[in-house]
Structure 1
Amino acid sequence: MEKNIEKFVVIGLGLIGGSLALDIKTKRPNAVVYGIDNKEEHLEKALEFNLIDKKGSLEDLKDANWVIVAVPVDKTVDILVKVLDTIDLNTIVFDVGSTKSQICEAVKNHVNRRNFIAAHPIAGTEFSGPEAALKELFLERTNIICEVEKTAFGFQEKALQLFREIGMRIRYMDPLSHDKHIAYMSHLSHISSFMLGKTVIEEEKSERDIFDMAGSGFESTVRLAKSSPAMWTPIFKQNKEQVVKSLSEYINNLNNFKELLEQDKYEEVFKTLDETNRIKEILNKK
């Protein structure tokens, strides 16, 4: 590569990969971004929207300064091993997956494990594909980094500098703790949204009634049901144990609330709602 040019290869040009590419091109004028995607239309759109500078291939990994793996988590495991097999000794690699245990386990003994940073930027929307990419999607969002001690210190420093340039807050966590917490804070909310949408579609047979009567509360609650099944099914599979546990506790709370209504215990209903109102105090601190 030409001196002073930073070569980034982004594998997966959806919402997260595309948004990272946008911010990198904004924050680092010397960056040249190559895109790899298994859908040709994604590559064409990424070029059209100026997310990437060039189409890339696995050959481009060999002299890349950075490789970003932004594909569904079931694909990440295989692709990440191939990336680490191919890169130069000075290449920095990070993923953006919403699960971490299986990904970290897959590369724990790889000879180039020191080049890899297991990352999860807590950011996104319900939309997918290159057209969903947004500038500053990661501004003031938390980026969880797992097993940072297994990454070479020099690579850590460079990656943290990039993440902070993009505007991310950094938090460190072990993979198991990450997967447990994210099951409650992200995975459960997506399942809840999908199942609310499913219930309404099954019970409300008229699309016109759904359209006319959907208030802001329903729309905000069901928003995540617009998310990509191709992305979320592998997440639920990889984090099955923690997701099932969080679902069991959620279902138990729903059943308890249903019993309060059945038994006309409205003081208990009020108490339950009032105690749960504390969530707004927690979230208002963000």
Structure 2
Amino acid sequence: MKNIYAIGVGLIGGSLALDIKKNNPEMIIHGISRKEATLDEALALNLIDEKAALDDIKHADLVIISIPVDATVKLLPTVLDLIPDTGLVVDAGSTKEAICKVVENHPKRRNFLAMHPIAGTEHSGPSAAIQGLFKGKTNIVCEVEKTTFKLQEKALKLFTDIGMRIRYMNPVDHDKHIAYVSHLSHISAFMLGKTVIEKEKNERDIFDMAGSGFASTVRLAKSSPEMWTPIFEQNKINVVETLEEYINNLTQFKELIKDDNFEAIFNEMKNTNHIKDILNGIS
């Protein structure tokens, strides 16, 4: 692989470009974006080597799509139309079922690898890109059997070389599980932030009293609505299911407090402490 085209050069696309270039200095990273200013910033930050347009994909060895998932669904068939037979397209979307569905009958389906690198921060744009973001992180790959073996082999080596752990999953299971461990977390953060802002009209009081616990819990509320709204839309059924379970637990917790049943409150929290064993080693 020599010519890498990054469609989207923000946090994920930019960080992938940084890591790939560090390990493979001979590769040329071409950036594609709707906004010229984004490409200018990516060039200034050395995330990409050159600007490019969609038509240039006919020269690509690898295309990495890191844009909102609704935009990925619309653009992916066109990108596959343009990719040469020897090239591969991968996406980094947080939902997988709709993305895989839209190209299931595409004549170049074998040139596509659906993946979800589970890493990131609450920041966005080229300036958010971080070298080493993916070290030790899991990369979920879906429907790997539908991708030409030689192409998937090259791509997976590229991603394991930058420190990713590869795990395989079907798109339906991916979207169901990610709704619990990622999408629900973001909704909780957004709604916690909303609740506090609405209750505490004096922002000075919020900043003076907010400790590290609040800051870390609400951190995800700084995430991009442009990215997350399409995720919730594409994964609507699973997100609603997780919200119903979460709301039920919150309601039960509220009733225990109203009933002065603090022994039960203690036991609920004690039992949930087990999550630290499950998450041990995950940063």
Match in the other structure for 2:161: 165
Q: C-alpha distance in 2, partners of 1:193/1:223?
A: 7
**What SS does structure 1 have at the residue aligned with 2:94?**
coil
Q: C-alpha distance in 2, partners of 1:124/1:245?
A: 25
AA of the residue aligned to 2:87: T
Match in the other structure for 1:247: 243
Q: Deviations over 1:84-141 (max 9, x none)?
A: 0111000011000000000000000001000100000000000000000000100000
RMSD: 0.7
Cα deviation, residue 178, structure 1: 0.1
Q: Deviations over 1:13-39 (max 9, x none)?
A: 110001011111101011101000111
Cα deviation, residue 185, structure 1: 0.3
Q: C-alpha distance in 1, partners of 2:68/2:280?
A: 31
Cα deviation, residue 78, structure 1: 1.3
Cα deviation, residue 59, structure 1: 2.1
Q: C-alpha distance in 1, partners of 2:262/2:219?
A: 29
Match in the other structure for 1:203: 199
Runs of 4 or more, structure 1, over 3 Å off, are none
Q: Which runs of 5+ in 2 are unaligned?
A: none
Match in the other structure for 1:175: 171
Q: C-alpha distance in 1, partners of 2:34/2:56?
A: 15
Match in the other structure for 1:107: 103
Match in the other structure for 1:187: 183
Q: C-alpha distance in 1, partners of 2:233/2:35?
A: 23
Q: How does 1:54-93 map to 2 (within 5 A)?
A: 54-93=50-89
Match in the other structure for 1:233: 229
**What SS does structure 1 have at the residue aligned with 2:15?**
helix
Q: C-alpha distance in 1, partners of 2:281/2:213?
A: 22
Cα deviation, residue 10, structure 1: 0.2
Q: C-alpha distance in 2, partners of 1:285/1:71?
A: 29
Q: C-alpha distance in 1, partners of 2:222/2:36?
A: 23
1:151 matched to 2:177: no
Match in the other structure for 2:129: 133
Scaled by the length of structure 1, what TM-score is found?
0.98
Cα deviation, residue 204, structure 1: 0.3
**What SS does structure 2 have at the residue aligned with 1:33?**
strand
Q: Deviations over 1:187-239 (max 9, x none)?
A: 00000000000000000010100111110000000000000000000000000
Q: Deviations over 1:132-181 (max 9, x none)?
A: 00001000000000000000111111111011111100000000000000
**What SS does structure 1 have at the residue aligned with 2:136?**
coil
Q: C-alpha distance in 2, partners of 1:92/1:29?
A: 20
Q: How does 1:266-277 map to 2 (within 5 A)?
A: 266-277=262-273
AA of the residue aligned to 1:204: E
Q: C-alpha distance in 2, partners of 1:64/1:154?
A: 16
Match in the other structure for 2:4: 8
Could you tell me the percent identity over the aligned residues? 63
AA of the residue aligned to 1:261: I
Q: C-alpha distance in 1, partners of 2:186/2:122?
A: 10
Q: Which runs of 5+ in 1 are unaligned?
A: none
Q: Deviations over 1:47-91 (max 9, x none)?
A: 000000010011210011110011000000111111001110000
**What SS does structure 2 have at the residue aligned with 1:124?**
coil
Match in the other structure for 1:95: 91
Q: C-alpha distance in 1, partners of 2:197/2:190?
A: 11
**What SS does structure 2 have at the residue aligned with 1:220?**
helix
